[in-house]
Structure 1
Amino acid sequence: MKIVVAHNRYREAQPSGENTIVDAEIAQLTAAGVEVLPFLRSSDEIPSMPRSAKALLPISPIYAPRAQRELGRLLDEHRPDVLHLHNPYPLLSPWVVRTAHRYGVPVVQTVHNYRQVCSSGLYFRDGAICQDCRGRALGVPAIVHRCYRGSRAQSALMATTLAAHRGTWRSVDRFIALTTSIAEHLRDYGIPEQRIVVKPNAIPDPGVPVPLGTGFLFLGRLSPEKGLDLLLEAWRRHPDGSLGPLRVAGDGELRPLVEEAAAQRADVTFLGPLDRDGVHAALVASAVVLATSTWHDVLPTVIIEALAAGRPVLGTALGGIPFLVGADTAEPAGWVVPPNPAALADALPAAVAEAASRASAARTRYERTFHPDVVTRRLLDIYADTARTAESDRRSAQ
């Protein structure tokens, strides 16, 4: 099988879980014997572009001519079975879907965010969930509120891009929804049920879990939508030291909030940004991992890392978090609560008391749902079915 993986990498200065997942998926597919043809661009290329190329950047989300020419040559030369698209912005453009179809190549897209509808991709604005652009032909609220990169002009361009490519997205042969929540988003957007499959991401198996450590770990971007302020407000409702340690790892605009909490309480430790070894050590030291997002977080990789390490997760009942934790299964790998301080504060002592009894369920959920062997087999089945369906449709049209 021959697959083109198309992805516009996010800037390295802003670490992206999506970049990491795409790299891991390419490695997993290659290990499974798939011939992967990467068609990758990076936003880090933009500063070094010639002036003529930079002049075209404002229209590239709608139509990126250079990317279409280069993709056309790749498709013509290699004749792949499927093109697998991840992020198209800004250097690829959703037009790659049309280019692939022009060469008779079906398209699978993994949906990592809500950008079919929302200019920021988050359904989150001014510290709260926002879905003002749902159902609109043009996302005027995104323009008014400068939702894309804090710029009214760039927000207008992105809103126009989303409107212009509504038909493009609806022509995608198969959508990979990372969770049931994303599947619901796609149905709401008008994608037929038969073109949506749920397949989460995978992370490498870290091996047999070691016994639980103590306390809680928050690992992620220190930004408002990740719910750090919610967590700290809930934490302050308990006496210092009564829940064990709270370790916070990461970086971002809310870093001063964590540093202040660590200065005020002996049971709060700020670990700062961590490398892979540091993340592993922090997981090993902890008993429960926290995922306290206040937006519809699509698929926080930290939850899969926690499950792989046999650490149960306490999260908010938003986005993909309930799916990841298996909240509706017979043996959930943690707990989900409403995104408010009182509910989270009530859940913290229960998580301490029940962590050991949920550890085995956490590891089992990883092995059955998020292990690379399981996920890669699922992805190969999706490619094969998409290619078969596209070929059958072509024959029917002749």
Structure 2
Amino acid sequence: MTRARRLLAINNYFYRRGGAESVFLDHIELFAAAGWEVVPFAMRHPANLPSRWSDYFVSEIEYGGAGGPLTKAKQAAKIIFSLEARRHIRALIGRAPPTIAHAHNVYHHISPSIFGALKAQGVPLVMTAHDLKIACPAYKMLSQGRVCERCQGGRIHNVLLHRCVKDSALVSGLVLLETLVHRSFGLYRDTIDRLVAPSRFYRDKLVEWGWDAGRIAYIPNCIDADAYSPARDEGDYIVYAGRLAPEKGLATLVRATALSRQRLVLAGSGPEEFALRKLAQEQGAEVAFTGHLDKPALKRLIGEARALVLPSEWYENAPISVLEAYALGRPVIGTRIGGIPELVADGQTGRLVEPGNAVMLADALAALADLTPAARAALGGAGRDWVLQEFSPGRYRDRTMALYEALG
């Protein structure tokens, strides 16, 4: 009798907290629907989805909370190498031996301490690179608001020298120590059988930083376009949906909005909100701030926009928001950086502009506004067709299944 295929799905959080968690949970649903038994491994959290395996989850770590020096020291040790996570994963794979393990985000909570335990039991291990942490100690290849690759070639002392994490010498120093330990013991390089890169850009960037190209598989993210219906009516605004953070290029966007005399809606929250409100007032830009929206409201907002705009000024990976806009039949204006150009066909599904160039972005906003609603709908419709063909859940599952079978 053939043993049922069992996927050990690993991520810090077991609820829809952000883009990585959405990919993780969609992945679980796809493989469960394909007949796999899926066993999750995560951190305990009040917002977690229910699971019969939750007794094996690791205890919650809440950074920035109250606690004395001893508590903070214990947390720092867990960031680097969680003995608890290693014990729990050993118990879990003893109870439910997996066919394959697929990790998503494990940094700072679960930690890569579990990878050696999986390797010792002969469990093939795949990890999706949702960010650039396995190359850049500070995740984003971003320092002081600018793209930075100083740590390439092992020069990781730069993360402390330039205080790349939260502009803090203490936190950056801890991240430096974490990276030294992880690299010294090969906690990623010697245990991961395949890395999954959701963008070709991330695949190529990781190779530039020393990862073996033969160990990286390009598997783009997916979206179920059938769950999205293009709106019948179009509003008179463009929309940005996401975190209000410096690297997202939103100051450039506000300036471009003022220059082009367009109406902008910023959907989301983040540390830049106050500064952006002030800038909009100074520039005379018409900008509305919605704060965080639930999924139905966000779908409605994007679906009725003239376009989604993604003005990022850092190495974005493969933003799900672009696929969502296409699924809703809306065009996308994006910047030529990171994985964004892979998802925006200039002149066919939207427009591409140079990052940080407010004048060029303003021209693109104005040009899109000058199109007829039918012409904008045609751009968005081409995006929807592309999603249905290339970024469907079925394509994602088939590509991932082929990877699993190659490791089996």
Which category describes the TM-score, using the shorter chain as reference length?
A: 0.7 to 0.9
1:4 pairs, out of 1, 4, 8, with 8
- Residues 85 and 113, structure 2, Cα contact 8 Å, conserved in 1: no
The 3 A distance-change label for structure 1 pair 11 and 77 is: closer
Q: Which residue of 1 aligns with 2:350?
A: 334
SS in 2 for 1:203: coil
The 3 A distance-change label for structure 1 pair 162 and 266 is: closer
Identity of aligned residues (%): 30
Q: CA RMSD in A?
A: 2.6
The 3 A distance-change label for structure 1 pair 32 and 211 is: same
Q: Displacement, 1:207?
A: 3.5
Output the amino acid matched with 1:163: L
CA distance in 1: counterparts of 2:378 and 2:233, whole angstroms: 11
- 1:284 maps onto 2:288 in alignment: no
Q: Displacement, 1:54?
A: 5.9
- Residues 129 and 198, structure 2, Cα contact 8 Å, conserved in 1: yes
User: Per-residue displacement from partner, 1:163-190 (whole Å, max 9, x unpaired)?
Assistant: 3323332231111001001101221122
CA distance in 2: counterparts of 1:326 and 1:100, whole angstroms: 41
2:243 pairs, out of 221, 224, 235, with 221
- Residues 258 and 284, structure 2, Cα contact 8 Å, conserved in 1: no
Which shifted more, 35-44 or 47-56?
A: 47-56
Which shifted more, 148-157 or 337-346?
A: 148-157
The 3 A distance-change label for structure 1 pair 332 and 105 is: farther
SS in 1 for 2:265: strand
Alignment: residue pair count? 377
SS in 2 for 1:194: helix
Output the amino acid matched with 2:394: D
- Residues 11 and 42, structure 1, Cα contact 8 Å, conserved in 2: no
CA distance in 2: counterparts of 1:386 and 1:211, whole angstroms: 46
CA distance in 2: counterparts of 1:231 and 1:266, whole angstroms: 10
For structure 2, which runs of at least 5 residues remain unmatched after alignment?
47-59
- Residues 135 and 206, structure 2, Cα contact 8 Å, conserved in 1: no
CA distance in 1: counterparts of 2:352 and 2:210, whole angstroms: 29
- Residues 160 and 169, structure 2, Cα contact 8 Å, conserved in 1: yes
Q: Which residue of 2 aligns with 1:124?
A: 142
TM-score by length of 1: 0.87
Which shifted more, 2-11 or 359-368?
A: 2-11
Q: Displacement, 1:42?
A: 5.2
SS in 2 for 1:146: coil
Which shifted more, 180-189 or 147-156?
A: 147-156
The 3 A distance-change label for structure 1 pair 150 and 261 is: closer
User: Per-residue displacement from partner, 1:22-45 (whole Å, max 9, x unpaired)?
Assistant: 222222221222211101115882
* 1:266-281 correspondence to structure 2 within 5 Å: 267-281=286-300
Q: Displacement, 1:16?
A: 2.4
- 1:380 maps onto 2:401 in alignment: yes
1:293 pairs, out of 303, 309, 312, with 312
2:61 pairs, out of 46, 51, 59, with 46
Output the amino acid matched with 1:28: L
CA distance in 1: counterparts of 2:400 and 2:128, whole angstroms: 11
1:144 pairs, out of 136, 161, 166, with 161
Which shifted more, 219-228 or 338-347?
A: 338-347
TM-score by length of 2: 0.85
- 1:232 maps onto 2:236 in alignment: no
